[in-house]
Amino acid sequence: MGVKGEETRSRLIAGTRALIEAKGYFGTGLNQIVAESGAPRGSLYFHFPEGKDQLVAAAIIQAGQEIEEQLKALVGEGLDTVAIARRLAGLFIDRMEASGYTKGCPIATVALEVSGSNEALRLTCVEVYGSWQRILADRLVAEGHSPASADVASGQLLALLEGAVLVARVQRSRTPLDDAQHAVKHLLAAK
């Protein structure tokens, strides 16, 4: 694929990401994606011949990889898991406040909508969340947790943060994520 084709594909994914995070899977139509991306309609089916689900999956994977890279960078800075979780919560707060509380976690909106009705996209979300959880679990093991306890604690940590994102968006307040940042230390205190 040429440079222009890759740019068009990237614009389609970026447009989809922006829309699905703010409006969800069901609130985002292909006409909106074409308008948001500025890409020709025909290029949508050229790059994503399987349609909307293939495009949404690409958007979820890309968004998930960005958070994954940020988590890896925080681990690379030598931060402990409590500090990593606080920084991740801060990232979600920044996204929410910058968007007027229409965005938070780039995966959560779609994950909530499709988990009961779209197995392929549900599994894509499982894969993304799993990659984040593995990074957190590996960090916890490096801090002295047993592998079994690290798996449980990293799942709890992810659930705490994702739940706080949901409540914060609904309340249009950063308070649930601020509270979650404080709760992380207590959650991870027991090995």
* Residue 161: CATH number of its domain: 1.10.357.10
Q: Is the pLDDT of residue 5 over 80?
A: no
pTM of the model: 0.92
> Do the domain assignments include residue 34?
no
Query: Would residue 181 count as lying in a domain?
Result: yes
Q: Is residue 16 in a domain?
A: no
Using a 10 angstrom Cβ sphere, with 0-12 exposed, 13-18 middle and 19 or more buried, the burial of residue 92 is buried
Split into its structural domains, the chain has a count of 1
Please answer whether residues 64 and 57 qualify as being in contact, where contact means their C-beta atoms are separated by less than 8 angstroms: no
Rounded-to-integer distance, Cα 157 and Cα 179, Å: 13
The conformation of residue 191, written as its DSSP 8-state character, comes to -
Cβ(13)–Cβ(43) under 8 Å?
no
- Predicted local confidence at residue 28, as pLDDT: 95
54-99 pLDDT, tens per residue?
999 999 999 999 999 999 999 999 999 999 999 999 999 999 999 9
Residue 39 lies in a domain: no
Task: Decide if 45 contacts 51 (C-beta within 8 A).
Answer: yes
Domain that holds residue 91: 53-189
